[in-house]
């Protein structure tokens, strides 16, 4: 066992799991071991992890719900931080919502619906944590997190806290400045709009049902593999290229929605990456369009 893992265990930072396989922690059910998976129970423990990592120069990565994520077969070197109960909360003050990073986006949307608060209808069926949704600017059905986020509380890699306003996050399509910084979202403050609970719930249900009917969400998938390129839909380009059902090892392009790759049971990360590369080459040659992955690839290659 690596010496710094012993130090982590001695530092009282929560649960420390050495050489922990990542496959059970991801929607794709793929991924080799992390040197250490750490589950802090408090914000103070989270700060201790980040400060120890900085002191020992240990890389770290934050794991949300495990959607939109591909962990390589060799796994992740360093610390994987899995947020838990300490950040699994939501508090409503009129139309302002304070949500911990570990709270479910779907669950928050349902709670908002019941209170007659509009703005999260787009989240129907998106299996993300609040922290992941802020980080990736999650969205669907013509809306996204950037439209409702007021500010985010983040823990920086020096162990200090910061409050970032919406404009400071430099949001764009499936992007935030957090993807280029070492910082952990711990809380999001959202501003919703009062409305008719029945209409809001109906809109949410329509979006959810549309997802369930058009996407293979009951299978081992991570979400949409590619961002939609300007002027196009990735799924339409892939389908038009005859790639539905294309398979590499245990990874297969969904026949229901071409922008999803299914782990049929024994897929490796290399299977998925090879399939992603093949799709990119075919679409590039056929349409002169560059497909950019939406899924985050992490780990040693």
Q: Which residues are catalytic?
A: 174, 224, 294
Partners of 297 in the β-ladder: 70
What DSSP string describes 112-131?
HHHTTEES-GGGTT---BHH
- Dmax over CA atoms of the chain, in Å, equals 57
**Whole-number Å distance between alpha carbons of 169 and 151:** 9
Tokens 């780990």 locate to 299
The total of other beta-carbon atoms located within 10 Å of residue 265's CB is 8
CA 137 vs CA 132, 140, 178: distances in Å: 8, 10, 10
**Whole-number Å distance between alpha carbons of 79 and 51:** 12
Q: Contact at 8 Å (CB) between 276 and 78? A: no
**Whole-number Å distance between alpha carbons of 24 and 37:** 12
**Whole-number Å distance between alpha carbons of 56 and 50:** 10
Residue 74 structure tokens = 């060799």
Percent of the chain as helix, strand, coil, to the nearest 5: 35, 30, 40
């Amino acid at each position: 066992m690596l010496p710094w893992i012993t130090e982590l265990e001695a530092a009282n930072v929560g649960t420390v799991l050495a050489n922990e396989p990542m496959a059970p922690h991801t929607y794709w059910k793929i991924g080799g071991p992390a040197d250490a998976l750490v589950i802090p129970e408090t914000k103070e423990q989270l700060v201790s992890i980040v400060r120890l990592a900085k002191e020992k120069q240990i890389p770290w990565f934050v794991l949300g719900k495990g959607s939109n994520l591909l962990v390589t077969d060799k796994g992740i070197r360093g610390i994987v931080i899995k947020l838990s109960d300490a950040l699994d909360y939501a508090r409503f003050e009129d139309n302002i919502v304070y949500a911990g990073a570990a709270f479910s986006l779907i669950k928050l949307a349902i709670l908002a619906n019941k209170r007659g608060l509009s703005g999260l209808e787009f989240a129907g069926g998106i299996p993300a944590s609040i922290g992941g949704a802020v980080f990736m600017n999650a969205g669907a059905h013509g809306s996204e997190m950037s439209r409702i986020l007021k500010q985010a509380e983040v823990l920086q890699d020096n162990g200090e806290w910061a409050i970032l306003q919406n404009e400071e996050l430099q949001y764009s399509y499936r992007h935030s400045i957090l993807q280029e910084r070492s910082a952990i979202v711990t809380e999001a403050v959202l501003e919703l709009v009062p409305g008719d609970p029945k209409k809001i719930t109906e809109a949410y249900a329509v979006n959810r049902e549309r997802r369930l009917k058009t996407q293979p969400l009951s299978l081992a998938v991570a979400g949409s593999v590619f961002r939609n390129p300007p002027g196009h839909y990735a799924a339409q380009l892939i389908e038009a290229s005859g790639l539905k059902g294309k398979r590499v090892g245990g990874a297969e392009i969904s026949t229901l929605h071409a922008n999803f790759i299914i782990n049929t049971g024994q897929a490796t990360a290399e299977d998925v990456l090879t399939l992603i590369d093949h799709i990119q080459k075919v679409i590039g040659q056929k349409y002169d369009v560059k497909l950019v992955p939406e899924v985050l690839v992490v780990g040693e290659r």
